[in-house]
Chain A
Amino acid sequence: MHQQNAAEPVQTELQTPPALRMRKRTPRQGLASLAGWVVTLVVFASVPFWLSVDNTLLIEGMIVAAVFALATNFLVHHAGLTTFGQAVFYGIGAYTIGLFSVHTHVSFWVAVVLGPFFAALAALVIGALSLRARAFYFALLTLGFSQLFYNLSMVFYGFTRGDTGIYGIPLPGFLRSPLWSYEFIFIVGAAGGLALWWIVRTPFGLAIMAIRDNRRRAQSLGMNSYVQLLAAFVISGFFCGLAGVLFIVYQQHAYPEMLNWQSSGAPILMSVLGGMSTFAGPVVGAVIYTLLENFVGGITTYWELIIGVVVLALILIYPGGIVRGVVQLARKLGSFGNGGRGQ
């Protein structure tokens, strides 16, 4: 199957220019798609009413992971920047609430609002420094920042509580009820996902994809690639911070391992699991990853072994990710119906 040589970079799904993939939809298809989204939203919004508290919590974890994965995928897939440092912003979102609750009397809601903005600010600084480097150097520089913040949170014990992290962060009023904390995570998470979906479709979103596909051509069209990519970095940082804020509503615990390179890699892993080139991909990947972590983790302590095997198998069999694999499978099955001609 993948017997190609390094000679010709094979066009995998990851590399297909998005312009080729966006097909015009008939009004009926558009309506069906809209109906699908509405049904999905209603199903998810009503989760606490028909699932146990434990399973509702499981879905909360999936939503947090999905926002983190979407925000990371925006940078990795749409802007074409392989980063191993998004956990910094995820962690800053969570630590903002934790540190405010420990060191100040400022309202929880102020910290909720500030979290993503602090993450975006950190992204502005880290992005401005990291984007001077390219390709692998960029990836490893962001990894270095991730490890720097991880070690900082361990070293300044008095401020960050070191390796235990800040746990038992008190939630205000209505967020203490399982129903409302779920609805909060769901509504804010869905809004964040929608915002990212919209950003990809704005002229700015198209511009960063153009830079990804051919930086020199984009520059010759008058784009300032450094500024555009920095903006993408800040946006991704903002939404990673949002995921960190949601994590506090979900778990009330900010800890150093949220910041290290494995945490930075997890959302990339989720995106590739589900498929980077579709919007639903990172979400599906986050769901699968969380399920594996929970159910396999419940059966055996070796759950990382299972994740490793699943990831490896998927990379070798369906490099485009599960969502695309399913779509291809469906097309193949569908094409039997019309004499094998359809694609």
Chain B
Amino acid sequence: MISVMAGLATAAILFIVTVGLSLIFGTMRVINLAHGTFYMLGAYLVTVTFGAVSSRALGFTVMLLVSAAIVAVVGLLIEVLVLRRLYGSDHLLQLLATWAILMILDQVAIMVWGPQNFTAALPRAFNGSVQMNGQQFPQYDLFLIGVALAIALALWLILQRTRFGRLVRAAVQDVELIRVLGVNVNRLYTQVFVVGTFLAALGGALMGPATSVGPGIDMNIIVEAFIVSVIGGLGNIWGAAIGAIIIGLFQSIGNLYVPELASLAPYIVMILILVIRPHGLLGKVEG
């Protein structure tokens, strides 16, 4: 039961990161290799820069949002300066451009924060644990799950109820149609990319105090986020949720029973699911 909760907490982070990736892919058809790097930047900002500022719940929450917002500005610059010039060219070029951005930001992070790993204490407000059915659950895990649920609900409302959400859903279906209808697609892409970046950085910011932060954490999360998104079906928000839960649970339960093979679990799950359903659980068939 404890490991199920731990699995759900992992799934919560994976969902927050992957839903951003999925949103970007679904709308813009860009596989953003730098997505994990935005996660890493969020984690650095909270752990190293702002973590010390406050250990109260409210202060910490503000710091999460500030960190994610700063990274979102980086995302905005990247979209406007680089990606915007590559829409319509070969997908491979877009992929390599985001890889180049990953390499650049990675090295910048090492220049700024050095090669060492950082660990920060959890904010005091979330440091306790909660009694449920006679078992102890870390408070922070519950907080993560709560945030993920809140984001899922907020995204659902935005996608269903706002003009922005309608445009995103339409763009996932057929971007040409909304362009013909006079929508400024470039601006929509920028907005989606900024939202996606914000979510990646928020995931990192949330994870920062719960893990050790250092070079390379972006490479781990990006591969996991890809796995989650293809399991669920690229560009599908509910697919991201299902994929995150599957991988989160497999990881924590695998850690319990076969710890030496747990690192293989996500890949094996992904290969099995894609061999059975080559376009993911909820994905559409690619043309």
Measured CB to CB, the closest approach of chain B to A270, in angstroms, equals 11
* Beta-carbon contact of A151 and B267 below 8 Å: yes
Inter-chain contacts of A2 with B (CB < 8 A): 85-86, 88-89
Measured CB to CB, the closest approach of chain A to B74, in angstroms, equals 15
A227 at the binding interface (Cβ < 8 Å): no
* Chain B: CB-nearest residue to A307: B103
With A148-B267, A304-B103, A305-B103 as known contacts, state yes or no: A136 contacts B87, CB within 8 Å.
Answer: no
Q: Mark B225-267, 1 if CB is under 8 A from A, else 0.
A: 0110110001000000000000000000000000011011001
* Chain B: CB-nearest residue to A139: B31
Of B25, B104, B226, which one neighbours A143 at CB under 8 angstroms? B226
* Beta-carbon contact of B82 and A312 below 8 Å: yes
Inter-chain contacts of B110 with A (CB < 8 A): 302
**In whole angstroms, what is the CA distance A210 to B248 when docked?**
42
**In whole angstroms, what is the CA distance A296 to B225 when docked?**
32
Number of residues in A with C-beta < 8 Å to the partner? 51
**In whole angstroms, what is the CA distance A10 to B93 when docked?**
13
B195 at the binding interface (Cβ < 8 Å): no
Interface of B is mostly: helix
Within 8 A of B (CB), among A251-267: 261-262, 265
Inter-chain contacts of A329 with B (CB < 8 A): none
Of B90, B175, B226, B261, which one neighbours A140 at CB under 8 angstroms? B226
* Beta-carbon contact of A308 and B103 below 8 Å: yes
Among B11-19, B135-143, B273-281, which stretch is in contact with chain A? B273-281
Inter-chain contacts of B107 with A (CB < 8 A): 302, 304-305, 308
With A147-B223, A305-B108 as known contacts, state yes or no: A6 contacts B185, CB within 8 Å.
Answer: yes
**In whole angstroms, what is the CA distance A311 to B34 when docked?**
14
Measured CB to CB, the closest approach of chain A to B214, in angstroms, equals 16
A: residues with CB less than 8 A from B are 1-10, 12, 14-15, 76, 82, 129, 132-137, 139-141, 143-145, 147-148, 151-152, 154-155, 261-262, 265, 268-269, 272, 302, 304-305, 307-309, 311-312, 315-316, 319
3 residue pairs, one from A and one from B, having the closest CB atoms: A308-B103, A305-B107, A148-B267
**13 CB < 8 A contacts A-B:** A14-B90, A14-B92, A136-B234, A137-B286, A143-B223, A144-B267, A148-B268, A148-B271, A308-B101, A311-B97, A311-B99, A312-B97, A316-B82
